[in-house]
Chains A and B, each alone.
Chain A
Amino acid sequence: MTRIVVIGNGMVGYKFCEKLRASAPASDFKVTVFGEEPWPAYDRVHLSAYFSGATADDLLLAPRSWYEEKDIDLRTNELIVAIDRDQKTVRSHTGVETSYDKLVLATGSGAFVPPVNGVEKKGVFVYRSLEDLDAIIDFGKKNAKSAAVMGGGLLGLEAAKAVMDMGLDTHVIEFAPRLMPRQLDEAGAAILKAKLEALGIGIHLSKNTKQITGNGKLTGLDFADGSRLAVDMLVISAGIRPRDELAKGCGLATAPRGGLVVNEFLQSREDKDIFAIGEVASYQEMVYGLVAPGYEMASQVANQLCGKEVRPFLGFDMSTKLKLIGVDVASFGDPFGEAEPSTSIVYENKTRGIYKRINVSKDGKRLLGGVLVGDAAAYGILLQMTQNKMPLPPDPEDLILGARGGKEPAGAGVESLPDEAQICSCENVSKGAISNLIKIDGISKVDEIKSCTGAGTGCGGCMPMVNDLLKQQLKAMGKQVKNVLCEHFEYSRQELLDLVKVKKIKTYDELLNRVGKGDGCEVCKPAVASILASTWNELIVKQDSIQDTNDRYLANIQKGGTYSVVPRIPGGEITPEKLIVIGEVAKKYKLYTKVTGGQRIDLFGARVDQLPDIWEELIHAGFESGHAYGKSLRTVKSCVGSTWCRYGVQDAVSFAIQVEERYRGLRSPHKLKGAVSGCIRECAEAQSKDFGIIATEKGWNLYVCGNGGSKPQHAKLLVTDVDSATCLKYIDRFLMFYIRTAEPLTRTATWLNKLEGGLEYLRDVVVNDSLGIGEELEREMAFMIQTYACEWKEVVNNPELRAKFRHFVNDTSGDPTVSFQEMRGQKIPAS
């Protein structure tokens, strides 16, 4: 039995153990692992997740029991202090000696702390281990309002985001004249700087820190140019220093910039029984500060020891994507186009904060590398094209601009990748491996691909490509990529709607029993709830536990767990008396009030147990539910129209009220908004609504499928100059057709974009009745209108339903954690 000693239980040391135990029986090797830290190896790459609530346990790569199961002798809290190469032993700080046949150094690296006066002061930290983070969090909470991060590289920016999230005023200090100098060119770095400044991070470039000031505890930094910055805390992230002290101590060669010198088999030059892997290894003067190359080294050494075929380690791609900061940044291949003569193509959009650059070989045939800031969606595929030397499309600029004129983007899909292309670099999984899994093993779920290959379990950056690959493979195999709702129903929303109608199914449970499986989930429950509501129009609170929380409590949940109340104000018209009632109710229950974009008034900060009482008063004064909580009709906004406005040609307010009251409470795949303008000047912004009506001299123009929100889209003109009755008929048909055919949570704009045949087809169905379903759609809508009832009225008058509105079932008190603070004379959730 060969005795193997591993020094260092970090990410790479762990990976080595995993690979070794996976490739050979445990009886072949006796494995002892020494780790200086108190816990077993954890996921350092996601260290920053610690700030957002992940615990040390969550970050562990494997629990202690794993080492026991695998028969690995793990000694945490033990620092190795010396290697004796003659005796072939290592000695720990407690004096214990352990013999080895093969020794693997996986000691990683430590933060590099530049020799600046004052680094020993209180309040100065590095960012490397869980213990560092504990110290930062502890200090930051108690003693700091502001913090600086020294180092504007990949890690420094990650650290900056983390301290900013702690609520500290944050600054980044960089020695070079630009951020991420090793990955970004000047223009890209400038865009990144602007974006980070917009997030509230102060960026200070070309700053050489002369000394750290303060008496015992730091108070600020002095720079060589005479300027200074006052801060309460400093996190140093100025690079890494391999932990090669053991190697030096036993006469093994180390590189000038640190790291144990290894050959392409990761052996030390002087001693073939000593290997180095991960950040402590220096191959051709290069230390690889990323996990992917470390993992590659770990499997190479494990394979060698097991006598398996090995590929020599000849360097590794250092392309990276910055995670976390809230700004997409990526750099791949040769970002500066310096390694060989090349031409670069640059796209820059300062207002949108996007910069993309690709470097193409002189002959225009190959992609050499590039930089993406602001939009790194293409990172995965561009990296693959670079690594696999794939032929470029005739117009390489398409790669960063997207194809124009409706062409498919040239050669930019996963299907164009060769089988050897590495999809997941953290776990080294090739396209071929994933394709085979799908083709030969019949795997059809992303989760299974993840668990079989490990792809996507590291940094997760390859998941979009894995998804695309799965879709494309299934399609190539002739398997219909069916739009199923979720794992509980093998049907699309439209198919389920038909089943509900045909089989006359009225409850979720019945549908699940008859055509589904399992217990349902948060995807199918609300989708089916919406289908049932827009088919039978029964009171939704009867099946309250399948509703989204907003529909369950008939109010919108807000930060802190309170709800907001929105009474309907059709067309935005309200009498002074009713306005006073809203004011009185808000005052009585101490609610925050705000006028919404839909011309009504939102009352915030009601506890769940207060909702029925508040509504009782509102209903008593003649209000009804505004359905602000539902995927249903919200408002029909209006301008004042011909009654008051000197330009108006029709009475917009009256028509808006009529329309809003017609469709109030109508459940649909997503929320619906409408508007009516009294003339062509369009003061009600009808063209940004799901249905918008604009008055003409002769009647109304009807627009459909507009959208505000994150991707605004103008509504399209469906018909012109129709009278009121015809206009309503077409809206009836349009809405019902949408409700029947749209996927869950799809707004009308997206639905139309995906509808085959587009607007022409929609007009055929709605206006020309090409499917012959016009009357049926109108009948269905008429049923909805007749069966409408105000949900809140029913709840207020029904003691059983009312009883559901409480926080605790075993105590009448409200949620004691709800608390508020004041702002401009009103309350807001306490932060």
Chain B
Amino acid sequence: MTTKLEMYKTADNSKITTWFKAAPVSALPENGGACIKYKDLQIAIYKFSRRNEWYACQNLCPHKMQMALSRGMIGSEGDEPKVACPFHKKTFSLKSGQNLNGDCAAIATYPVKVEEGYVYVGFED
């Protein structure tokens, strides 16, 4: 199981080598998330329509290793954008990846950009 977790490493905006064209903006729900496949990775992308911001993170919840974060509800704690895992409602910051309501491992986050109607996710391959 741990090897699966280890596949996900936070990508630093300044070190991106690949901008992966993930999906048209219209494929993502407003104020919600969806999952994309990139190589062997499952990445959750969230559209915060209210703030006009985008975030991406691993789809794998480190709590009980469930492929579920893209189906979680998003929201904020203070200013911090977050997602709640649908399984046991562990919440994670979408900026730092930290678990906000417990001591689960942090999740990996990835930069997102939107160009000409498409969402791109950045990876340091």
Contacts and interface: CB of A to CB of B under 8 A. Distances in A.
B104 A518 contact: no
Given A509-B50, A522-B89, A810 B36 contact: yes
**Which bucket holds chain B's interface residue count?**
35 or more
B15 interface: no
B40 to A, nearest CB: 8
Contacts, number: 114
Interface in B40-95: 42, 48, 50-51, 62-63, 65-68, 71-78, 81-82, 84, 86-87, 89, 91
B66 A520 contact: no
A808 interface: yes
A804 interface: yes
B114 interface: no
A546 interface: yes
A559 B67 CA distance: 10
A490 to B, nearest CB: 15
A809 B67 contact: no
Interface in B19-39: 22-23, 27-37
B73 A526 contact: yes
Given A488-B75, A808-B36, A522 B91 contact: yes
B32 A522 contact: no
A525 interface: yes
A54 B23 contact: no
A518 B75 contact: yes
Nearest to B38: A810
B31 A545 contact: yes
Given A488-B75, A522-B73, A815-B42, A545 B103 contact: no
B82 A521 contact: yes
A813 B71 CA distance: 17
Contacts of B104: 53-54
A443 to B, nearest CB: 15
Nearest to B89: A522
A271 interface: no
A72 interface: no
B94 to A, nearest CB: 11
A519 B76 contact: yes
Given A53-B62, A809-B23, A521 B77 contact: yes
Contact of B103 (A54, A553, A811): A54
B118 to A, nearest CB: 10
B16 interface: no
A522 B76 contact: no
B66 A560 contact: yes
A46 interface: yes
Contacts of B2: 53
A557 interface: yes
A544 interface: yes
Contacts of B67: 561, 815, 817-818
A733 interface: no
Contacts of A804: 29
Given A54-B105, A519-B81, A557-B86, A809 B34 contact: yes
A101 interface: no
Given A53-B63, A545-B30, A520 B76 contact: yes
Contacts of B11: none
B32 A544 contact: yes
A521 B82 CA distance: 8
Contacts of A553: 71
Interface string A472-489: 000000000000000110
B18 to A, nearest CB: 15
* Max chain A C-beta neighbours (<10 A), residue from B28, B76, B91: B76
Given A808-B35, A809-B34, A809-B36, A522 B42 contact: no
B37 A808 contact: yes
A552 interface: yes
Contact of A810 (B23, B77, B87, B91): B23
Interface of B: 2, 4-5, 22-23, 27-37, 42, 48, 50-51, 62-63, 65-68, 71-78, 81-82, 84, 86-87, 89, 91, 103-106
15 contacts: A58-B105, A487-B78, A488-B75, A512-B50, A520-B76, A521-B76, A521-B84, A522-B73, A545-B73, A559-B66, A561-B67, A809-B23, A815-B42, A817-B42, A818-B67
Enumerate the 5 nearest inter-chain pairs by beta-carbon distance, A residue then B residue, closest first.
A545-B32, A521-B75, A522-B84, A549-B86, A519-B76
Interface of A: 46, 49, 53-55, 57-58, 487-488, 509, 512, 518-522, 524-526, 544-550, 552-553, 557, 559-561, 804, 807-811, 813, 815, 817-818
Given A520-B75, A808-B37, A817-B67, 12 more contacts: A49-B103, A53-B5, A54-B103, A58-B105, A519-B74, A521-B75, A522-B72, A522-B75, A546-B73, A809-B28, A815-B42, A818-B67
